[in-house]
Structure 1
C-alpha cells in the first residue's frame, strides 16, 4: 500500500505548494476584504441610481467572489483528499482501502485541474484580461479554401466558448460565394474571455485534401484571427458623426439563408482611418448600429495604443500578412493528422477534438505558460515542417 500511497501523497504536497502560491498571486485575503466592502456598497440606498457604476461594481464583486470561492473550494478538496489517503494508509486488505485510495487519486486530479485554472487566472495582469472579447476571423491566402477554413475556425470557436460557458453574440457572419464565409465577428462575454482568447490571435494554417479540387490535391490555406477587448463603460472614445458613413443592406447568414427581409444590416465606415465594421445579427438597424459602434470604439482604442506606444502587441500581438511564414498554429489533416502551435510546441493528433469539439484548453494554457515564462519548453520553429 505504501508504494501506491506515496505518489499521491507527493502529488498532494506539490499541489498544496502551488495552491499557496496562487493564493498569494490572487491576493485572496485582500479580495475577501474587498468582497465585504462591495457587498456593503451594493446594499446602500441609491446604489442603482448610477446604473453603469452599479454594473461595474457588481462585476467586480462577482469576480472577487469567484476567486475567493475557488481557493476555498480547492483547500476543502485538498483536505478531503488527504483524509481519504490517511484512512487508506491505515487500513489493510479490503475493498474499502481500494475505494478510499481511488477517491484520493480522483480528488488529486480534480484539484490539479482547478489549480491549473487558478494559475492561469493569476497570470492575467493586463487591463482587460478578465473582461469580454471581440473576435474577428478573416480569410487569408487560399481563395475559396480560405473562406471554408474561416467557417471551420468560426465553428471551432463557437464550440470552445460553449465548453467554457461563455455567452456569444454573433455580430457579423456573411456567407461567401461558393463555400464558407467572408468573415466572422462575434462578442464573447465571460470570466477571463479576453485573457484566454488573446492566445488565439494570429494566422492559422490548414493543410488538407481540397474538397473543391477534382484531382484531390493537397491544399494549404490560411485565416487570420483578431482578438480585441470590449471596452469598459468608463473608457470613452469620442467619434464625430461627420467621421462615419453608415450604410444599410439586407442581412444574410452562412449558407446563404436570409436572416430577415428588411434592410437591417449595418455597415459603419470610419472615414479618417478606413476602419469598416458590419453587424447583421440583430433585427433592427438601431441595435446593429449600436453593436457596430461598440466594435468601432474598441478598434479605435487599439489604434490609439498602437500610435502612442508604437507597437501592436499591447492588445492583439504583431500584425502579419495572413499567409506563408506568419502562422501561429498549423492544422494538418493530410498526409497525417496533427494540430501544432508553432510558438509553444503544444501539439495533438486528435484533430477532431480540436476542430469539431473546440478542445483548445491545452493550446490556450500552453500559450500563457510560454508567454509568462512558466513553460518548461521553448518555442518551436517552422523547421519542424508542420
Structure 2
C-alpha cells in the first residue's frame, strides 16, 4: 500500500507542475482531465502526509522517552505518543478506503425512476412522497432536480416519475437508493383504520453521455403528439410531447414536461441513452453475481431495501439493520444519516473482500 502511496505522491507533484505551465489551459480537454486527476489524488496525498507526520511524531516521542528523565516531560511525551498512535490507526483505515477501486460512474449525475408497485392508489401516493423526499434532499445539497417523465393520478399520486439530479458525485451517493421501498400505514381511503402495506420501486441510473452510448436512428421511431394527463406538476398542455420507441429493446420513452418539442426530444434521447447504458450495467452486474451480493447498493431492484412504518414513526433499512425513529424528518429529505451508514457499510464490505483476497 505504501509503495502505491509514494507513487501517487510523485504523480500528484507531476500534475501540479504540469498545471502550472502557462500553455496547458489552451487545451481545455487536457486541462479538465488533469484537473480531475489532481482533484481525485488530493485527498489521498493529504491523508498520507498527515499519516507520515504522525509516524514522525511517534518516533520523536519514543526518542524523547529514551532521553528524558524529567517525569512531567515524560508524561507529555507519553500523551503525545498515544494520540499519534491512535491517529496513525485512523489514518491507515482512511487511506485503505481512499485507495479502494472507484466506480467510474460515481461522479456522474443520476437519473432516478420511481414506480408505484403493489397497493394501487396508496402506492402512487407514496411514490409522490418519496419523489418529494429526494427533491428536498437534493435541493438541500445544492443539487439541481429536473423532471423528465411523469404519470400522475388525480388524487396527487404518481404511477411513475423519472427525474435527473445534477450535482458533483450525485451517483456515488444516490446509488444506494435502488430497490423496493415499502410503506406501512392506514391509507386515507381506509375507513376501518387498518394498516396496509404498499410498495414502490426506485431505479438509480448514472447519466449516460453521447460518447458512451451511440444510438442508431434507424432503430428508433419518433412520434410527436399533444401532452396528456391530469395536469399538475407533470404536464404542459401543448402539442410538443415526444415519444421514442427503441425497436431492439422495446424501450418506450415519453417526454412532455417542456413546452418546446425540441427540449422534449432532447430529454427523451438523454433518458433513452441512460436506459440503454443501464441495461449494459445490469448485464455486467449479473455476470458478477457473487461480487454483487457482497456489496451494498448493487443495483438489484427486486431487493426490499427499506420500510417506512408510519404508525410507529420509524424507518428501517434492511440491508444494514438500521432503524431510525424520525420518519417525518426523513420524508422531508433528511436522509443523510441513512446514506452515510450505507456508504460506511459498503466500504467495510469492500475492504473485507480485499483483505480476504490478499
Q: Work out the CA distance in 1 between the residues paired with 2:21 and 2:253.
A: 38
Count of residue pairs brought into register by the alignment: 308
Where structure 2 has 5 or more consecutive residues not aligned to the other structure, the ranges are 55-89, 351-358
CA contact (8 A) 2:112 2:162 kept: yes
1:370 is matched with 345
Q: Work out the CA distance in 1 between the residues paired with 2:42 and 2:127.
A: 34
1:291 is matched with 267
Q: Could you report, residue by residue, the CA deviation over 1:285-333 in whole angstroms, capped at 9, with x for unpaired residues?
A: 112211221221122122234446644877952242xxxxx41000000
1:256 is matched with 232
Helix, strand or coil: the match of 1:183? strand
CA contact (8 A) 2:220 2:246 kept: yes
Helix, strand or coil: the match of 2:253? strand
**Deviation for aligned residue 1:42:** 8.7
1:143 is matched with 120
Where do 1:41-120 residues align within 5 Å? 44=24, 46-48=26-28, 53=29, 57=33, 60=36, 63-64=39-40, 67=43
Q: Work out the CA distance in 2 between the residues paired with 1:152 and 1:343.
A: 22
Q: Work out the CA distance in 2 between the residues paired with 1:118 and 1:157.
A: 31
1:43–1:61 Cα change, 3 Å: farther
1:160 is matched with 137
CA contact (8 A) 2:18 2:24 kept: no
**Deviation for aligned residue 1:208:** 0.7
Q: Work out the CA distance in 2 between the residues paired with 1:343 and 1:32.
A: 37
Q: Work out the CA distance in 2 between the residues paired with 1:280 and 1:56.
A: 34
Higher alpha-carbon deviation: 239-248 or 251-260: 251-260
Helix, strand or coil: the match of 1:294? helix
1:34–1:305 Cα change, 3 Å: farther
RMSD: 4.0
1:178 is matched with 155
Where do 1:218-367 residues align within 5 Å? 218-235=195-212, 237-251=213-227, 256=232, 259-307=235-283, 310-311=286-287, 317-320=299-302, 326-334=303-311, 336-356=312-332, 358-367=333-342
Q: Could you report, residue by residue, the CA deviation over 1:256-305 in whole angstroms, capped at 9, with x for unpaired residues?
A: 36743322232222122111223333331112211221221122122234
TM-score by length of 2: 0.71
Q: Work out the CA distance in 1 between the residues paired with 2:101 and 2:254.
A: 30
CA contact (8 A) 1:200 1:227 kept: yes
Higher alpha-carbon deviation: 270-279 or 58-67: 58-67
Q: Work out the CA distance in 1 between the residues paired with 2:271 and 2:330.
A: 28
TM-score by length of 1: 0.66
Where do 1:20-59 residues align within 5 Å? 29=9, 32-33=12-13, 36=16, 39-40=19-20, 44=24, 46-48=26-28, 53=29, 57=33
Q: Work out the CA distance in 2 between the residues paired with 1:38 and 1:176.
A: 57
Q: Work out the CA distance in 2 between the residues paired with 1:55 and 1:254.
A: 48
Where structure 1 has 5 or more consecutive residues not aligned to the other structure, the ranges are 1-20, 79-111, 321-325, 376-386
**Deviation for aligned residue 1:28:** 7.2
Q: Work out the CA distance in 2 between the residues paired with 1:183 and 1:197.
A: 18
Q: Could you report, residue by residue, the CA deviation over 1:324-374 in whole angstroms, capped at 9, with x for unpaired residues?
A: xx410000001x111010000122101111001x11122112222222326
**Deviation for aligned residue 1:215:** 2.6
Q: Work out the CA distance in 1 between the residues paired with 2:328 and 2:188.
A: 17
**Deviation for aligned residue 1:43:** 5.0
Q: Work out the CA distance in 2 between the residues paired with 1:295 and 1:163.
A: 25
